[in-house]
Amino acid sequence: MQRKAGLWITGAFSTSPTGGIESLAGLIPIHLHLQKMAGRANFRAATLSDTHPLRSILSQDHHKGAQPHPCAISQMSEAFKRKVKGTVMEIDRHLPELTESFEPVASEARPGTRLMDRFPDQVIFNDCSSLLEQDTLEARERDLSTILRNVRLSDDTVYCSVDASLPDNTQHQAVSAAILYRELEEFNRVRHVAGRVTAPDAELFAIRSAITLATQQDNCEKIYIFTDSIASARRAVDPFLHSGQGHSLAVCRTLAAWLAEDSSCTITFIQVPSKLEWSIHKEAHDYAKGLISPAGLRPATSLDSVRKAVTKLTQESWTRMFEDPSYKGRNFLHLE
C-alpha cells in the first residue's frame, strides 16, 4: 500500500524500486515507523500514577507506590531477565534514560482550581496571531517598542526578557536565561543549565525563573514577560501532563499565590519574533549563548527530548538503509 502511495505521489514508473520511491516521497518505511512509535511509547510509563498496575510489574526503581507483583521484573534473577523479551522489558530498560518526574494527579490540575480557571482575566497573552497578513516585522517591532516604553514609565511593573540557547551537538546542555528590569534599570539576571532538553523545555525553564524572581519584588502589581515562544508561555500556565510539567506546576503555584493577593495584579506574556533581534530580548539571547556547559555523565532529560532522540535514531536507520543499493535501486539519480 505504501508503494502504491509513493507511485501516486511521485508519478514514477510502476517498475521503480520501492526504496527510491519512498525516499523521494518522504514516506518512512513502515517497520521503522513502528519502531519509532514503540520507542516513543516506552516513556509514557513515566507519566502513569504512582499506584498504576503497570508499575507493579516493573523493576524496583519504578514501583513507586504500587505493590510489587509476584511476577514482577524485580523478582526475576539477572539470568532470567536476559531471557525474557517483550514490551514491559523494553519499558523497564529505557525508563532510566528519562530523568524528568511527573505529577499525574496534581491538585493544580483539578478543574475549577486551575490557574486559568481562577484568574482568566489576569493572565494575558499578546502574540503575533492578531497581525494581518500585510503587517510586517517592522510593524511588530513598533508595537513592542511602544509596549516597552509604557512599562518603563510604571514603577509598579517588572518586565523580563527570557530566552534559551540550544547546542548544536549532544556534548553540551541547553541553557535558560532571564533578565529582569524595573523602570529603566536592570536589577537581576540569571541563567541555568537546563540539561539535554528541547528548545520549548528550555524556554519554559527560563519563564519559570523570571516569574519566580519577579513575584518576589515589593510593590509589584504587573509583570511582563518578553519571549519568542508563546507556546511555551501557554504551557507555563498549563498544569496537565506534558514535557516540563514540573516547571509549569511551579509557575502555577507561584502565580496563584501572587494573583490572589490583589485583583489588580496581572501578568502579560508578549511574543517577540526571534528574527527581529529586538532590544532587550536580544540581550537575553546573547546572555544565554554566553554559557557553554558540557553534558557530563548523566544530564537531565525531558520527555520531549528522549522522544526526539528516538525519532532521530529512526531517521539515521533510514539513512543507512538508503545507502544500500538493493533498497534505493542501483540506478538512483543523485542530484548535486
- Rounded to whole angstroms, the Cα distance separating 80 from 303 reads 30
* Residue listed under C-alpha cell 529582569: 180
Among candidates 204, 178, 195, which has minimal Cα distance to 309? Answer: 195
- Rounded to whole angstroms, the Cα distance separating 22 from 16 reads 10
Among candidates 289, 125, 298, which has minimal Cα distance to 202? Answer: 289
- Rounded to whole angstroms, the Cα distance separating 160 from 223 reads 8
Cell matching residue 150: 509604557
3-state helix, strand, coil in the chain (%, to 5): 50, 15, 35
Average of pLDDT values for 63-85? 87
Among candidates 192, 216, 197, 163, which has minimal Cα distance to 309? Answer: 197
Q: Does pTM surpass 0.85?
A: yes
pLDDT at position 132: 47
What confidence category does residue 321 fall into, taking pLDDT thresholds of 50, 70 and 90?
very high
Residues 113-153 have pLDDT tens digits of: 999 999 999 999 998 765 544 467 888 889 999 999 999 99
Strand spans (E) along 56-200: 123-126, 157-165, 174-182, 185-195
SS3 12: coil
Spatial contact of 137 and 275, defined as CB atoms under 8 Å apart: yes
Largest CA distance in the chain: 74
Cell matching residue 7: 507511485
Does residue 198 carry a pLDDT above 70?
yes
- The boundaries of every CATH 3.30.420.10 domain in the chain are 107-289
Spatial contact of 174 and 305, defined as CB atoms under 8 Å apart: no
Superfamily of domain 107-289: Ribonuclease H-like superfamily/Ribonuclease H (3.30.420.10)
Spatial contact of 39 and 313, defined as CB atoms under 8 Å apart: yes
